[in-house]
Each structure stands twice: as structure tokens, then as C-alpha cells.
């Protein structure tokens, strides 16, 4: 399996190099040159597989021999053996033909665990083989940070720096990041928003001079292809548990950086019968506005009850645009430059193609709270605010009620007490392994949203 950049000017890489590269040298994102394909018979034969064995079937073609099958299988078995639920990603019914795919049974109670627990183990394996030490730099709107630290803390060959927007993540999210012990773990609270943090990460990958040529940066954000690859699996798993592939499924996906729903698009292209993919956003609704109007226009980021979706610049949308624009790297490079600096209108044929692939809806905090309350009163099932937005989008855009609609349950509600309480409900207790979270010591540094200041902090701690 070979990987190419969305902007067409970076070297073609194999999986191992893509794992360690993150952002391409031309500023683009790596995608597979071709996608593995599964026939309906091949998918049907996967029905009885537990999650870890299904994951091996889906992931193995992407790795392309860079990691021996036996080693890859052991890594995957170890990854999903750490989840709290035997099913790993159980499906819960909340209405007739309406389901929640629970993706919050990993160690940090969010869907990011599916990719980042695997990514950490893949990095450990590859870096040990190469005898190389690297610097991980990532930005988080709440869940990526703790999942990345938890997934990578065991690796002896990394120093990890996670940037989060100061006072703009939930307390549980912050404490999950800042209470993990380790001499190689650094949490930086940026006096800005997530987009500021993400921009600094991208700029640092573009110019790594602050690391003196002695280390390389590795990405844990969903610009890292391995993140997307791991998320494809649970679309297959949910379908197979509800009668797929002999009937189609629809999915509603709470969307911030577009990685999770892009994985669903790839699952469809790989042969999984999917009827509808729904983009669910909060008030920071740039993707919904784009699908609705064809206009890509940045607006000021707002702080909401669903902080993991408080994002304006959705990095992975570039991967989607690459396909919409017929994989023409030169055209895409020009488009991305314009989208970063001005309001852009998609070509009519590209917009039509996007609307064939996606529906979309947005929900403000009032709607989010009402959905949490309504679903709890109807079923006794408690949604976190991001999943509630997914349920709202599913119900308002659904075009075929005979097709099962699966909302991705992206986080445990205990992580978002203010949203639960605003819905008039009591926040649940922390799971046993996090019961003492509020008693643990925190470690983080508050820095201004200045690139040179952040890079100097990283260099001082890597080389000091």
C-alpha cells in the first residue's frame, strides 16, 4: 500500500513512513493511493468476528507488509483487549430502527481511544524497530489529548506535548490529560481556541527547525492517516451487528475535524452498503453551511456545551475535497490556499457530488439540551452533548426510516456534566478507574497562543 499527498508535491510513502510523518512536506494530508475492496460475500463472512479480529481484517491491507501480520494482530489484540466492554463497540437501540454505537468504553471514555490506543502501540513497535526517538505534538478540543497521552505513555521513545485551549475544555477532559504521570508528558494550555492550537501544530510540522534536525515531529491529530484507518472498522462492526451487509445502514456522525465521518465515507467506498451519511455539527457549523449553501466561510468560533466540536477549520475535509476534485493535487493546493484566506464557493458539480454523499444539520445548545432530556425521558438512556447533536441530525435529515440509523456515540456523558445538568438531569458518577480523578494532582503550563513561545517551550524540555 502506497500513500500520496492531497497536494501532489510530496514523496509517495509506505505505511510506516506515513505513520511517522503526519503532515506531508507540501502541506497536504496523506491518503492511500488505492483503497482495499471487500465484496458482499467477504463482508458477510466477517459477521461472526469479534471486534479485534474484524479490525485485523480491515486494517491489514492498509499496513501493506510494513508490520508482520503476527505482530499487527498482537498489537490489535492488545489495543482492544483494554476496553471495558467485551463487545468493544456495543450497539444500543433508542427507538424503532434507531441506534447508538457506543464508542466510549475505552480508557478515556471517548471514541478517540479506538484510534489512539492503536496508534500508540503502532508507534512503539516502529520506533523500537528503528531505535528512533521522536516528539509528538498535538492539539485537542478535549478528547484527543487524554486519548493520545493514554495511548502513548507506555512508549519509551517519545516526548509528548499536547496543546488544549485554556478554560475551553470540560473539567473532566482537562483532568484526564493533566493528571497522567510521566516525565515525557507535557500539557500546554493555550490562551486561545482550538483553531489557534491546531494552526500552531500545522505550522510546526511545516517548519521543524526548532528541533535542530535532531528529532522529528509525529502527529497524533487526525492528520495522521492511522487515526482514520482505525475508525473505519467500527462502521463495519455496527453494520454486521444489525444485519449488514444484506441491508444498508445510515450513520449520523458528530463532526468537528471531519475525520470520523471521512472514515465512514471510506467504509462505503470499500464496499460497505451505506445509505446515508449525516454531518452533525453544533453552532460552529461551517460544514453544515457548506453542504447547505456551497459557501465556505469562516466565522468566529463559539464556546458551546459540546466543546469537542468547537472547531472552525476541519482539517480532514481536505481529504474529502481531494476526492471531490478528482484527486488533482494542484487544483486542491490552490483551493486550500484560498479557503484559508477568503470565502470560497464550491464548483456546482462538486457541491452536487458532496450532497449526494452527505446530509447535514446543526444544533445549538438549547436543542442539544432538549435532545438529552427527551431521549432520557423516553428511554432512560443518557446521551453526551455531542451524541445528542448526532441524534438530532439523524432525526431531522433522515430520508428512509426503513434503513437503520446509527448515531455514533462519541463520548461518555460523565465527561460533560454542565451539559447534562443544563438538561435538568444528574450527571453520572465517574467509572471505577477514574473515581479519584478530582483528587489527582494536575500538571500543565499556560502559554500565550504564540508559535515561537510554544516551540521554545518544547525545545527547552526536549533538549534541556
169-199 CB burial, b ≥16 within 10 A, e <16 = bbebbbbbbbbbeeebbbbbbbebbbbbbbb
149, 183 in Cβ contact below 8 A? no
Q: In this structure, how many other beta carbons lie within 10 angstroms of the beta carbon of residue 267?
A: 26
User: Pick from 408, 414, 410: which is nearest to 432 by CA?
Assistant: 414
Q: 80-110+225-422 adopts what CATH topology?
A: Rossmann fold (3.40.50)
Tell whether the model's pLDDT for residue 94 goes beyond 90: yes
What pLDDT, in 10s, does the model give residues 161-211?
999 999 999 999 999 999 998 889 999 999 999 999 999 999 999 999 999
Per-residue model confidence (pLDDT) at position 22: 78
389, 100 in Cβ contact below 8 A? no
Tell whether the model's pLDDT for residue 371 goes beyond 90: yes
For residues 425 and 257, the model is more confident at: 425
Q: How far apart, in whole angstroms, are the C-alpha atoms of residue 258 and residue 266? A: 12
Q: Output the pTM of the full model.
A: 0.94
Q: Compute the average pLDDT of residues 317-345.
A: 95
Catalytic residues: 112
For residues 188 and 143, the model is more confident at: 188
Which sign, positive or negative, has the C-alpha torsion 302, 305, 306, 308?
Answer: positive
What pLDDT, in 10s, does the model give residues 38-57?
999 999 999 999 999 999 99
Tell whether the model's pLDDT for residue 262 goes beyond 90: yes
Q: What angle do CA 275, 4, 232 make, to 5 degrees?
A: 30
Amino acid at each position: 500500500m502506497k500513500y500520496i499527498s492531497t497536494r501532489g508535491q510530496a514523496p509517495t510513502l509506505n505505511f510506516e513512513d506515513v505513520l511517522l510523518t503526519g503532515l506531508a512536506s507540501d502541506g497536504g494530508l496523506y491518503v492511500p493511493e488505492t483503497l482495499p475492496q471487500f465484496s458482499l460475500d467477504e463482508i458477510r463472512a466477517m459477521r461472526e468476528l469479534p471486534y479485534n479480529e474484524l479490525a485485523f481484517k480491515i486494517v491489514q491491507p492498509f499496513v501493506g507488509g510494513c508490520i508482520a501480520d503476527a505482530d499487527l494482530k498482537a498489537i490489535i489484540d492488545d489495543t482492544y483487549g483494554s476496553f471495558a466492554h467485551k463487545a468493544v463497540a456495543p450497539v444500543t437501540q433508542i427507538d424503532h430502527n434507531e441506534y447508538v454505537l457506543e464508542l466510549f468504553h475505552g480508557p478515556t471514555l471517548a471514541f478517540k481511544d479506538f484510534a489512539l490506543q492503536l496508534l500508540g502501540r503502532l508507534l512503539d513497535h516502529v520506533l523500537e524497530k528503528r531505535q528512533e526517538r521522536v516528539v509528538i505534538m498535538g492539539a485537542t478540543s478535549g478528547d484527543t489529548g487524554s486519548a493520545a497521552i493514554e495511548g502513548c505513555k507506555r512508549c519509551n521513545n517519545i516526548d509528548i506535548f499536547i496543546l488544549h485551549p485554556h478554560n475551553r475544555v470540560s473539567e473532566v477532559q482537562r483532568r484526564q490529560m493533566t493528571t497522567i504521570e510521566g516525565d515525557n508528558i507535557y500539557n500546554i494550555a493555550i490562551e486561545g481556541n482550538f483553531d489557534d492550537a491546531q494552526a500552531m501544530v500545522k505550522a510546526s510540522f511545516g517548519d521543524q527547525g526548532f528541533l535542530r534536525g535532531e528529532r522529528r515531529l509525529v502527529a497524533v491529530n487526525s492528520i495522521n492517516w492511522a487515526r482514520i484507518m482505525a475508525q473505519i472498522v467500527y462502521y463495519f462492526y455496527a453494520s454486521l451487528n444489525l444485519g449488514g451487509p444484506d441491508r444498508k445502514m445510515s450513520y449520523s456522525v458528530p463532526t468537528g475535524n471531519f475525520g470520523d465521518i471521512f472514515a465512514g465515507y471510506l467504509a462505503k467506498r470499500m464496499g460497505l452498503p451505506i445509505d446515508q451519511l449525516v454531518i452533525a455539527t453544533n453552532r460552529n457549523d461551517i460544514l453544515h453551511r457548506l453542504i447547505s449553501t456551497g459557501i465556505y466561510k469562516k466565522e468566529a468560533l463559539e464556546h458551546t456545551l459540546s466543546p469537542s466540536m468547537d472547531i472552525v477549520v476541519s482539517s480532514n475535509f481536505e481529504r474529502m475535497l481531494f476526492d471531490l476534485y478528482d484527486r488533482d493535487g494542484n487544483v486542491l493546493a490552490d483551493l486550500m490556499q484560498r479557503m484559508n484566506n477568503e470565502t470560497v464557493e464550491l464548483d456546482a458539480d462538486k457541491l452536487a457530488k458532496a450532497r449526494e454523499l452527505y446530509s447535514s444539520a446543526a444544533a445549538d445548545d438549547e436543542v442539544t439540551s432538549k435532545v438529552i432530556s427527551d431521549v432520557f425521558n423516553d428511554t432512560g438512556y443518557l446521551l453526551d452533548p455531542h451524541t445528542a447533536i448526532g441524534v438530532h441530525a439523524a432525526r431531522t435529515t433522515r430520508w428512509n426510516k426503513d434503513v437503520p440509523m446509527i448515531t455514533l456515540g462519541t463520548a461518555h456523558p460523565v465527561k460533560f456534566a454542565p451539559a447534562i445538568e443544563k438538561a435538568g438531569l444528574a450527571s453520572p458518577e465517574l467509572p471505577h478507574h477514574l473515581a479519584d480523578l478530582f483528587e489527582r494532582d494536575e500538571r500543565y503550563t499556560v502559554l500565550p497562543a504564540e508559535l515561537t513561545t510554544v516551540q521554545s517551550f518544547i525545545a527547552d524540555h526536549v533538549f534541556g
